[in-house]
Structure 1
Amino acid sequence: MRSLERHRDVAAYALGVLDEAEAFRFEDHLMECPSCTAHVTEFGPATRQLMLYRRATPRAVHPMAKPGPRLLDRLLGEVAGRNRLRRRSLLYGLAASAAVALAAPGVAMMVADGDTAARRVAATDERSGVWAQVTAEDLPWGTQVELKVKDAAGPRACRLVAVGRDGSEQVLTNWTVAHHDARENTMMGAAAFHADEISRYEVRTSDGEHLVTVDAG
């Protein structure tokens, strides 16, 4: 497929409507196209809102039906939760870094704020050298996560996968590691799983190579 057509696949890839083969080819394209990588990240909020709409809407309701005030309340709740998550990340980032440095191979901690709680877990894989930290917050529509990764073995396209306690999997977010860049990268992602339905998180390359496992606790 021509490069221009690959660019046009950004929205379809971000919304998860490409088939497996097309998604694989597009991830190869992402490794060489910083513009598409940035656009995939920009589609994150829209993807989460569509997921929320899908879970909040009964199957019998026409997909183009006008959303009611209850959905608006949930969307506003998601925005508030996301802001709380960012504030917690700032306040507890130093404590989490110290805990990760002392723990081997992983550490888990609870972060509370008002009537919500987020669980933060981290691990380092001795073979790959990749470190990952996942902060997960359970919301009415599923789980919102903040992922932090250090990976100096780029360039390569990667993904965060949530593995359910029933063995099923969901891709939470995708990104491209820059060439030999060991700096910490932060991404937001979301799953239809609720937090207590997730067994572990796995960071993998686009071709399936395992980089690190973070137990959900």
Structure 2
Amino acid sequence: MRSLERHRDVAAYALGVLDEADAFRFEDHLMECPSCAAHVTEFGPATRQLMLYRRATPRAVHPMAKPGPRLLDRLLGEMAGRSRMRRRRLLFGLAASAAVALASPGVAMLTADSASAARKVDATDERSGVWAQVTAENEPWGTQVELKVKDGAGPRACRLIAIGTDGSEQMVTSWTTARHDARENTMMGAAAFHPDEIARYELRTSDGEHLVTLESS
């Protein structure tokens, strides 16, 4: 697989349509390509929506149907556009919040109380030495997750898995740890579960090695 093809496979990997051999080769590529790792993380919401669509798809649609190359290219373009839009909305939101705080301290206090509804949990694994913190916020479609990690044992590709109260699992986000970098890294992800449907979170390497467990309650 040529280098350019590896970059183009980021969408197929995030959406789970690569075969096992190509997925393994792409995970090796992720360890050396921060750009692709960032793109995989950005595909979390798109992957979640496709999963929800698959669950609601009528039986008349063939269960092995997969997105074609044009769909993957279009998703890449849409995700890049949405990423730019999110950054602009964040800047506008911060400016609006600052204006409200200056104009009305009472309203600012109400906003802070509302934000405190997010669930936050952190843990350090004694064996791996990995520290992680998950902040989970309930959304109409599931859970928005902020993940902070300190892992000095890289380079390696890792995943955050949400484990439901029914035992099912969903990948929240994935990333690549830089070589011997123990600084705190922050990633965003999402799960179709709601917070009260999540029993715990697990950080694992791409080959399944357990790094740390975070109990959600």
Same fold per superposition (TM over 0.5): yes
Structure index of larger Rg:
2
Percent identity reads 79
Q: Which residue of the partner structure matches residue 123 of structure 2? A: 123
- Residue 198 of structure 1 and its aligned partner are, at CA, apart by 0.8
Q: Which residue of the partner structure matches residue 173 of structure 2? A: 173
The C-alpha deviation readout for 1:173-196, integer Å capped at 9, x for no partner, is: 010000110100000011111111
Partners of 2:198 and 2:21 lie apart in 1 by 26
- Give the AA of the match of 2:30: L
Runs of 4+ in structure 1 deviating by more than 3 angstroms, as ranges, are 19-22, 41-52, 57-60
Partners of 2:44 and 2:166 lie apart in 1 by 26
Query: Is 1:153 the equivalent of 2:142?
Result: no
Q: Which residue of the partner structure matches residue 187 of structure 2? A: 187
Partners of 1:198 and 1:44 lie apart in 2 by 17
Distance 1:148 1:139, change over 3 A: same
- Residue 205 of structure 1 and its aligned partner are, at CA, apart by 0.6
Partners of 1:166 and 1:20 lie apart in 2 by 27
- Give the AA of the match of 1:175: W
Query: Is 1:9 the equivalent of 2:14?
Result: no
- Give the AA of the match of 1:196: D
Q: Which residue of the partner structure matches residue 136 of structure 1? A: 136
- Give the AA of the match of 1:155: P
Larger fraction in helix: 2
- Residue 162 of structure 1 and its aligned partner are, at CA, apart by 0.7
Once the two structures are superposed, the pairs formed by residues 1-217 of structure 1 within 5 Å of their partners are 1-44=1-44, 46-47=46-47, 54=53, 59=57, 113-114=113-114, 117-217=117-217
* 8 Å contact kept, 2:148–2:184: yes
The C-alpha deviation readout for 1:29-66, integer Å capped at 9, x for no partner, is: 101223322332344454456567x39x9546xx9xxx
- Residue 2 of structure 1 and its aligned partner are, at CA, apart by 2.9
- Give the AA of the match of 1:166: D
After the TM superposition, which of the residue ranges 115-124 and 159-168 deviates more from structure 2?
115-124
Q: Which residue of the partner structure matches residue 97 of structure 2? A: none
For residue 114 of structure 1, give the secondary structure of its aligned residue in structure 2.
Answer: helix
Structure 1: unaligned runs, 5 residues or longer: 64-78, 88-111
Structure 2: unaligned runs, 5 residues or longer: 62-85, 95-111
Partners of 2:3 and 2:202 lie apart in 1 by 30
Partners of 1:40 and 1:209 lie apart in 2 by 20
For residue 173 of structure 2, give the secondary structure of its aligned residue in structure 1.
Answer: strand
For residue 13 of structure 1, give the secondary structure of its aligned residue in structure 2.
Answer: helix
After the TM superposition, which of the residue ranges 183-192 and 15-24 deviates more from structure 2?
15-24
* 8 Å contact kept, 2:132–2:149: yes
Q: How many positions carry a matched residue from both structures?
A: 173
What's the TM-score, normalizing by structure 2? 0.68
Distance 1:19 1:164, change over 3 A: farther
